[in-house]
Homo-oligomer: A and B are copies of this chain.
Amino acid sequence: MDDALAFSSLVLALSGHLVQEIHTRVAREGFEDLRPAHGFAFARISRGDATTADLAAHLGVTKQAAAQLVEELVRKGYVERRPHPRDARAKLLALTGSGLAATRAADRAAREAVAPWREALGEERFGALVTDLARLTPPGPIRPAW
């Protein structure tokens, strides 16, 4: 009867595990200077056409916080700033080779982390699970939550 409460706990617990799993695996692949929060930035930047202000909106933080994050990612060689073609104030953010490699590693890590769950449920139920979750999840950026 208290499915609702159980559901909340499960989603929270699951996402916690997932983040931890992905982070650990990505670090093991050599990206030890990246932290979970960086992944959310990569997600936006890899979509293209992102300025620092866009990134701030995507992450739900202030421009200054985003600028600081970008500065760090640039310094570590994952991101580069390019002049914006139509706006002399702005700079376009782009992933470097390392940045791309890191996002690929993260994708791989996510798949690996999910794989055992997929097996545990079987293809069919897992597919249904994804379908149902997709129906529930409101649109909007994925961002760190707490």
Contact = CB atoms under 8 A, between A and B. Distances in A.
Contact of A133 (B10, B115, B138): B10
A4 B120 CA distance: 13
Nearest to A111: B4
Interface stretch (A17-25, A71-79, A84-92): A17-25
Contacts of A114: 4-5, 7-8
A5 B132 contact: no
Interface in A90-146: 107, 110-111, 113-115, 117-118, 120-121, 125-130, 132-138, 140, 142-146
**Chain A, interface SS category:** helix
Contacts of A130: 3, 6-7, 10
Interface residues of A, number: 53
Contact of A11 (B23, B37, B133): B133
Interface in A1-39: 2-20, 22-23, 35-37
Contacts of A126: 3, 7
A11 B6 contact: no
Shortest Cβ-Cβ A-B pairs, 8 listed: A15-B15, A36-B146, A16-B145, A4-B114, A8-B110, A10-B133, A19-B145, A4-B111
